[in-house]
């Protein structure tokens, strides 16, 4: 993860290969090409009728994909905003990158810029979960004109070591599961403490957002295992400090509406970090979801309402 953060403005990407999977109902698939030739995918939800509003671009976390927004995206679209929910390169229906050093926020932000250019979008409000929030923050630094406002879901300028250690313990290590029941059990083993309220049927649904059926009797995680290389520990003797992301947060918060959604039991976004964010950006709205760890799914009623209320007032 230190390398992942240190590569905020990483090297130029290189061409890759495709990775197909099937779209879900309720949206259309939008394809675009990255600057290095990768075929990328997003779920495109048309906004309901009414006055024109800026679109919302949803960006998922490290090992996740666009299916994480399969409920909240239609709810936002029902308010009149078009919603684009991305599969970041190396996840979901987007191409896996043959050069794992490209799995970093600066390259991801470039992919978002390419999508907005091809879709004819000059500005949008962003909803970023975990890594998606880092991508949004990076984008606001590279192209501040594109970001009209932001919702940060359980992410901030300081990332707690406890959460990084937990994520590093499982990212890129999961082999195939023999059934969806096994995939759900393995998903619960990793995420159960963060979502203690979920019942067994909920875990099957949770697993279907993060896994895909590669063949009969073989269910696999829906991301490129090579993303784990960005989490690799730096060689012995190398600097261990992560870059200072506070200036990037301040650039994002400047003259923009901002909402922070935090899991009340998050091990990635400490209470002290959230408090400092609030102090430095007093206009930022904030909601903590009690009992939830990293990261809120945004299916929680309070989180969902906070997102919708924020968007009701956003450009």
pLDDT tens digits, 112-155:
999 999 999 999 999 999 999 999 999 999 999 999 999 999 99
Whether 229 is covered by a domain: the verdict is no
Supply the pTM of this predicted model.
0.91
| Residue 233, pLDDT score | 44
DSSP 230: G
Question: Residues near 275 by Cβ (< 8 Å), separated by ≥ 6?
Answer: none
Digit-coded pLDDT (tens) for 255-287:
999 999 999 999 999 999 999 999 999 999 999
Distance of CA 115 to the CA centre of its chain: 16
146 and 130 co-located in one domain: yes
List, for the chain, all residue ranges whose pLDDT scores fall below the cut of 50. Answer: 1-2, 4, 6-25, 233-241
**Distances 23 to 57, 72, 311, 315 between C-alpha atoms, Å:** 18, 17, 26, 29
Instruction: Return the bridge partners of 136, or none.
Output: none
163-168: Cβ within 8 A, 24+ apart: 163/266, 163/267, 163/268, 163/269, 163/294, 164/1, 164/231, 164/268, 166/267, 167/1, 167/62, 167/231, 167/268, 168/1, 168/228, 168/231
212 and 250 co-located in one domain: no
| Residue 49, pLDDT score | 87
| Residue 173, pLDDT score | 87
Residue with tokens 């300028």: 157
261 and 128 co-located in one domain: yes
108 and 138 co-located in one domain: yes
Q: How many CB atoms lie within 10 A of CB 301?
A: 8
| Residue 230, pLDDT score | 72
186 and 295 co-located in one domain: no
68 and 193 co-located in one domain: no
- Domain holding 215, by residue range, is 173-222
Indicate the number of domains in the chain. Answer: 2
203 and 155 co-located in one domain: no
| Residue 242, pLDDT score | 60
- Give backbone dihedrals phi and psi of 29, rounded to 5 degrees, phi first: -85, 130
The CATH number given to whatever domain includes residue 248 is 3.40.50.1820
Whether 204 is covered by a domain: the verdict is yes
| Residue 25, pLDDT score | 47
């Amino acid at each position: 993860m230190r390398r992942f953060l240190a590569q905020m403005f990483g090297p130029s990407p290189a061409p890759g290969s495709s990775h197909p999977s099937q779209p879900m109902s309720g949206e259309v698939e939008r394809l675009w090409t990255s600057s290095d030739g990768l075929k990328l995918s997003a779920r495109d939800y048309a906004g309901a009728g009414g006055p024109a509003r800026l679109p919302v671009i949803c960006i998922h976390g490290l090992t996740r994909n666009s299916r994480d927004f399969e409920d909240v995206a239609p709810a936002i679209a029902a308010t009149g905003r078009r919603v684009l929910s991305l599969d970041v390169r190396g996840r979901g229906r987007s191409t896996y990158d043959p050069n794992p050093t490209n799995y970093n926020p600066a390259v991801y932000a470039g992919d978002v810029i390419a999508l907005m250019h091809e879709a004819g979008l000059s500005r949008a409000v962003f909803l970023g979960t975990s890594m998606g929030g880092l991508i949004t923050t990076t984008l606001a630094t590279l192209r501040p004109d594109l970001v009209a406002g932001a919702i940060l879901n359980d992410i901030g300028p300081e990332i707690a070591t406890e959460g990084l250690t937990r994520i590093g313990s499982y990212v890129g290590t999961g082999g195939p599961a023999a059934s969806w029941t096994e995939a759900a059990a393995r998903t619960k083993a990793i995420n159960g403490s963060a979502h203690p309220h979920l019942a067994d049927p909920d875990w099957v649904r949770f697993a279907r957002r993060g896994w895909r059926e590669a063949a009969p009797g073989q269910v696999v995680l829906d991301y490129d295992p090579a993303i784990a290389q960005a989490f690799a520990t730096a060689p012995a003797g190398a600097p261990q400090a992560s870059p200072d992301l506070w200036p990037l947060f301040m650039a994002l918060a400047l003259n923009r509406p901002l909402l922070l959604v935090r899991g009340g039991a998050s091990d990635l976004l400490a209470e002290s970090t959230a408090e400092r964010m609030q102090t430095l950006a007093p206009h930022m709205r904030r909601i903590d979801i009690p009992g939830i760890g990293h990261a809120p799914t945004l299916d929680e009623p309070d989180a969902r309402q906070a997102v919708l209320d924020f968007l009701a007032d956003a450009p």
